[in-house]
Amino acid sequence: MTRFAAPIAEQIWDMKYRLKDADGTVVDQSVEDSWRRVARALAAVEKDSDAWEAKFYDALEGFKYLPAGRILAGAGTGRAVTLFNCFVMGTVPDSMGGIFDMLKEAALTMQQGGGIGYDFSTIRPKGAGVSGVAADASGPLSFMDVWDAMCRTIMSAGSRRGAMMATMRCDHPDVMNFIEAKQDSARLRMFNLSVLITDDFMEAVKAGGSWDLKFDGKIYHTVDALDLWNKIMKGTYDYAEPGVIFIDRINKLNNLNYVETIAATNPCGEQPLPPYGACLLGSINLATLVKDPFEAGAAMDEDALYDLVGTAVRMMDNVVDASRFPLEAQRQEALAKRRIGLGVTGLADALLMVGQRYGSVEAAATCEKWLKMIARASYMGSALLAKEKGAFPLFDKDKYLASGSLVDMDQDVKDAIAEHGIRNALLTSIAPTGTISLYAGNVSSGIEPVFAYAYTRKVLQKDGSRTEEEVVDYAVKMYRDKFGADAELPEHFVNAQTLAPLDHVRMQAAAQKWVDSSISKTINCPEDISFDDFKEVYMAAWDQGCKGCTTYRPNDVTGSVLSVSETSEKTPEAETGAEVVYLAEPLERPQQLEGNTYKLKWPDSEHAIYVTINDTIHGGHRRPFEIFINSKNMEHFAWTVALTRMISAVFRRGGNVSFVVEELKAVFDPRGGAWIQGKYIPSILAAIGGVIETHLIETGFIEGEGMGLKSDPHAEVVAMDASQGKPKGKACSSCGQYTLRMVEGCMTCSSCGHSKCG
């Protein structure tokens, strides 16, 4: 019998976490083998490794404790990978040499798959003087463009996707440009953006006061605080960015505020970290710990929860010692503070099991109660671990007990810390768990509400065909297994589509009271929410004690997410808002095509390369259909044939294929590029990308160099909502399915688990 509650769970395990050799040969024959591999690796640092391996295996068994994906995929493999998810890089110096030193460190970190965060507030504003140079500063946004290009280059080299977070203080002179940066759809695609909001700024907003934009003590501009706040709000209302981080609150409540100052977070915002800060993640699956689910006496198994949390803390503490780090500074920071981020998933499912409506006052109180249990067990477990193994090196008893999360902690926990110290400086965080929650049987993600109770997923088979399968929420499946497949769901079964935005805020605020780091959560807002009501969501988040706020309002600019009917019984259909064409099946080749051939002469190469691009007319528009790359140089033969076939396959699937240009132009050759017609081209592949771009401009497919589609070809849409005659929205860039949704701040595909946040 399989351990997996749903086919999608097994598919996610096989695709992302199952150990295989480089040639694809399976090493982990079953998920039990994966659990055993991880348990053995994390127990290896223990004196009694056999006993702890058994304990760790028990925690993993049945998907009760879910280490983050990098731990599941990397622990015990012998591969040179980091098991940490989150990094904030060093403080960016306000000098050219220092800036590019930081760029190198970012590249090395992203090469190992880490998501990184940076505060760009330390770079002088655009137009500021530069001593010793007869020029003005280009400002932080120009260097963010360099970081963005680096990230695309690293990804094009085949490295695991890693996201970036950029922050900027609300009093930086370039904050207006920062707010608007991603309103250009072609700019900063690899970044999430958040404004660092201070307490003084929020007071000025509420008082209707003025606000100084300054750098190094010099005031550059004075603006109306409310006008700036409205500009931030309008940006996220229309474009879903920037986010908001209440940075003073984060520093005030930080257990380590006596040794560090935080100015940035990881890409999804749940880990505010100091320079070179690193944090690993893991989640307690609350949906597996409810006794007598759906019965009158249903309740959280508090003893099981307490024991599981203690084991999870020990496992995560061992990861600190077992992991590799991209940079030595990251390793030293991790060992000095031993930060971990233990969170939850399956909260909404657990609430359904005990008969409570997510978002209600009762559910918020239950959420707070459960999160306090986890915080208490985490801190007590870490104190006992310190008794055995020693406290984290920077522990200062008096300062630590007077700070952050300890103010409201139970006295017996404080007493244990006073006596033994504590092993881990910070312990709790609620991270994105989209893929992990699918692996665990499609439990509700993090502290998010259930998104949809059921939907249809298309699965690619080995013969290339696709089959459909129903994906059902974990709690809904359990309810129907218990009461019958046709049983009507109770009234308290609500989902993300039917919740008021302020209900989301209430749940986030309840959880934040007992989370010492932060929370990754998306507050879904209806498209027709008024701007004033939208602003109230952020003000409520501030007033109720949240450390940040992320919203998503579907519209023509941001795209759409899956939506479901209020009964949540039907397969989700996507709303309109598709910007480009996606074809369900590849176009067939006509007998005759029109095209152009371009000659490309690479310096120091004996033979030229000839690139032929043929087009087809579809829906009244000319679009690329196939490409041929030829050269007499046999050194190029294999890769040009492979490139020809792959790009042609992409062209024939339709859609906004201009991304091919972006990816090719980002490829660099470590042996060096070449100067062609006054421009530096980093590789032959980049030159081919330039040729394709030229062709797309000449044929009217895109507007110009570095720009998007020339027109919005709605007439070409093939995948339609039959009931409304509308396009199904954007397709997943990984699997091509129309199953994108916003989860915990990231567009995530429910078909394959792909997320831009990695």
Where in the sequence numbering do the catalytic residues fall? Answer: 266, 268, 270
Within 8 A by CB and 6+ apart from 117, the residues are 86, 87, 88, 89, 164, 165, 166, 167, 264, 265, 266, 267, 273
User: Hey, which residues does 419 pair with through a beta bridge?
Assistant: none
Phi, psi of 112 (to 5 degrees): -95, 5
Secondary structure of the chain: what % helix, strand, coil (to 5)? 40, 20, 40
Phi, psi of 547 (to 5 degrees): -95, -10
Among candidate residues 519, 473, 556, 22, the one with its CA nearest the CA of residue 239: 556
242: cis peptide before it, omega within 30°? yes
Asked if 317 and 385 count as a contact pair (C-beta separation under 8 A), the reply is yes
Q: Which helix (H) or strand (E) holds 574?
A: strand 573-574
What is the Cβ-side half-sphere exposure of residue 728, based on CA atoms within 13 angstroms?
20
Annotate 70-128 with DSSP letters as a single string. Answer: HHHHHTTS--S-B---EEE-PPPPSSHHHHHHHHHHHHHHHHTT-EEEEEGGGSPPTT-
- As a whole number of angstroms, the distance between CA 309 and CA 328 comes to 30
Asked if 178 and 172 count as a contact pair (C-beta separation under 8 A), the reply is yes
Residue at token pair 């602003």: 535
Report helix, strand or coil for 143.
Answer: helix
Burial string for 607-638 (b: 16+ CB within 10 Å, else e) reads eebbbebbbbebeebebbbbbbbbbeeeebee
What is the Cβ-side half-sphere exposure of residue 646, based on CA atoms within 13 angstroms?
9
In degrees, rounded to 5, the angle at the alpha carbon of residue 337 between the alpha carbons of residues 334 and 342 is 80
Among candidate residues 313, 298, 304, the one with its CA nearest the CA of residue 349: 298
Asked if 705 and 697 count as a contact pair (C-beta separation under 8 A), the reply is yes
- As a whole number of angstroms, the distance between CA 209 and CA 226 comes to 8
